[in-house]
Amino acid sequence: MIEFMDKNKIMGLTQREVKERQAQGLVNDFTASASTSTWQIVKRNVFTLFNALNFVIALALAFVQAWSNLVFFAVICFNAFSGIVTELRAKHMVDKLNLMTKEKVKTIRDGQEVALDPEELVLGDVIRLSAGEQIPSDARVLEGFAEVNEAMLTGESDLVQKEVDALLLSGSFLASGAVLARVHHVGAENYASKLMLEAKTVKPINSRIMKSLDKLAGFTGKIIIPFGLALLLEALMLKGLPLKSSVVNSSTALLGMLPKGIALLTITSLLTAVIKLGLKKVLVQEMYSVETLARVDMLCLDKTGTITQGKMQVEAVLPLTETYGEETIASILTSYIYHSEDKNPTAQAIRQRFVGEVAYPMLSNLPFSSDRKWGAMELEGLGTVFLGAPEMLLDSEVPEAREALERGSRVLVLALSHEKLDHHKPQKPSDIQALALLEILDPIREGAAETLDYLRSQEVGLKIISGDNPVTVSSIAQKAGFADYQSYVDCSKITDEELIAMAEETAIFGRVSPHQKKLIIQTLKKVGHTTAMTGDGVNDILALREADCSIVMAEGDPATRQIANLVLLNSDFNDVPEILFEGRRVVNNIAHIAPIFLIKTIYSFLLAVICIASVLLGRSEWILIFPFIPIQITMIDQFVEGFPPFVLTFERNIKPVEPNFLRRSMLRALPSALMVVFRRSFCENIWSESRLV
């Protein structure tokens, strides 16, 4: 353990102490790297069983100089290249994620103040922070007082009061005040570092279609080598064909079994959807998320900026005393907000409403605190003005305040006292007098009710996850036409175990921490839901990364945009159904067309079985050779299975996606495959024999 010096002697660390800590690795140098390297991505997409089988077939054809039959290998290369590009883009998005700035930090060492880069700090360094600066490392306050904005980390929009011994979280900002603080954590132990490390996990590609094809390729991979050898030996030894013809015929059978065409169709269809959505101001940062969103059956919404516009505005000012009229109250609010350093959304709404001549000079100021739920300011010639939550400033409930809360508004009371403002022990004065109520509303987004109603009609479950008061969220949800607005819980009052038990049945979650948001998503996934999450703040990052599909608004935090699957460039929640339509159209059309591709896989397998079985009949004239060559299979891939079905992918088909993609496709392909087998193995042989007769 490192012993800190007496905090009454704030001289900072000596150079010797700094070097000791550097030698022990107690330095604030940390890079949260993604778990997947570029080489791992390349290896995962190139060195697959599917590619290996195609490569061996290509080598065999090259060995016998059957160059015209190697066209198929271009498709394999394109599939691998597309997979690499898609995963590298996802990795690049995650690698860019950074919650910390690179500004110099005022640090006290050997009694002198020096400016250091954040990564040069060591455990125990004393740093000086003032309003507007970001906290570079977790630290405990030694001297001073400050109001800290932790919204980026916790989602709490109100400022948090920090006094001596309070912990300052890295990544947050000082909104007012100044402090001396001692670095408490460095590097990976910092709060922001842990958050980034958890968020910087490159998720594997989530495509059920590709997983189904991998299963099919895995099955064919197990049988393809013995089948290939059997067909080659049959052609060479029993039919006496030349080596080149034998290799070409056996390679054709193997190529026909591998479903490379449908993989190409899937990639090109998804790329087309990405382009179409881009034209509609939806940025798709991960191609396969289009397919995932099509399968979503549970959408978790962040209230602010999704159901509401995310733009607070003062809806009404209600005077509570005849002594101060509307004009006087407006003058007091104008002076208060002009002098105030508060920058939370509520203060910004008041600042937009009350603009004009400042009648009262400021003598002293106490910023708003989420702990107290109020702020105060001493104005010359008036007294001490308080602005905050009615339940924290008034002894009795104001009926008008309760009514406003039930309407989904945020309510503040403007109050006055003639007592002096005590900055060291802020407390509610005994002579406080309520002057007016302010009703502040975040308007419902236009079209939100219709969007929610439509999503429900499309069998998509809805949940609202918010850091706000659950009663307020419930009222807003009711206004937006949310059916289950009465099903809500205050997550600040329950344990993780209780939250897990309530996750599926409860519709609205209020006072939710970033950890709880992630836990809700995890629980919903465990019970079988395909989840999507909307958000806009850093406090949403963990839940966004956990969700199967993440959607953020362009107006959201840059760090959140960097890791999202989809970014709504218009910041309009009403675009979500259009994304859902596009995803369903692509997936349903691929499912509709897939049997065309699987016909070849099935008949190639059955014909290979028949060719091998014909050897057992004992007569050389009955021995069948595989009836196609590779170039024919490639032409079938391109001109029968390729271009015509690709045109069909543009068909509008927005019904809910059905499960069991591979099973349904195989059953639909089987009858046509059997007809091909019957014609090629029986009808043509009978016709040939009849001609000989």
pLDDT digits (tens, 9 = 90+) for 610-632: 777 776 665 555 556 656 655 66
- Identical topology for domains 280-309+445-581 and 313-441: no
Q: What is the pLDDT of residue 31?
A: 61
Mean per-residue pLDDT, 94-116: 76
Q: What is the pLDDT of residue 34?
A: 47
The yes-or-no verdict on residue 636 having pLDDT over 70 is no
Q: What is the pLDDT of residues 276-328, one digit of tens each?
A: 888 888 888 877 888 888 889 999 998 776 788 777 889 899 998 888 889 99
Q: What is the pLDDT of residue 300?
A: 94
DSSP states along 469-492: -HHHHHHHHHHTT-TTTT-EEEGG
CB atoms within 10 A of CB 673: 21
447 vs 264 pLDDT, higher one? 447
Q: What is the pLDDT of residue 350?
A: 92
In the predicted model, what is the mean pLDDT of the chain? 80
Highest mean pLDDT pick, 5-9, 396-400, 560-564: 396-400
The yes-or-no verdict on residue 59 having pLDDT over 60 is yes
The yes-or-no verdict on residue 683 having pLDDT over 60 is no
The yes-or-no verdict on residue 377 having pLDDT over 80 is yes
What residues are annotated to the active site?
Answer: 302
CATH number for the region 313-441 comes to 3.40.1110.10
Q: What is the CA radius of gyration of the chain?
A: 34
The yes-or-no verdict on residue 642 having pLDDT over 60 is no
Residues written for the chain: 693
DSSP states along 132-198: TPBP-S-EEEEEEEEEEE-HHHH---S-EEE-TTPEEPTT-EEEEEEEEEEE---GGGSHHHHHHHH
Q: What is the pLDDT of residue 553?
A: 84
Query: Alpha-carbon distance 85 to 52, whole Å?
Result: 20
Given 3.40.50.720, 2.70.150.10, 1.20.1250.20, 1.10.600.10, which CATH number is that of 15-30+99-199? Answer: 2.70.150.10
Q: What is the pLDDT of residues 399-409, one digit of tens each?
A: 888 788 777 77
Q: What is the pLDDT of residue 155?
A: 54
pTM, full prediction = 0.67
Mean per-residue pLDDT, 354-367: 89
Mean per-residue pLDDT, 669-673: 85
Q: Give the residue extent of every domain in the chain.
A: 15-30+99-199, 213-266+584-692, 280-309+445-581, 313-441
Q: What is the pLDDT of residues 489-512, one digit of tens each?
A: 998 889 999 999 999 999 999 888
280-309+445-581 CATH fold: Rossmann fold (3.40.50)
What angle, 0 to 180 degrees and rounded to 10, lies between the N-to-C axes of helices 72-95 and 260-279?
Answer: 50
Q: What is the pLDDT of residue 69?
A: 67
Classify strands 105-109 and 112-116 as parallel, antiparallel or unpaired.
antiparallel
The yes-or-no verdict on residue 94 having pLDDT over 80 is no
The yes-or-no verdict on residue 638 having pLDDT over 70 is no
Helix, strand, coil % (nearest 5) of the chain?
50, 20, 30
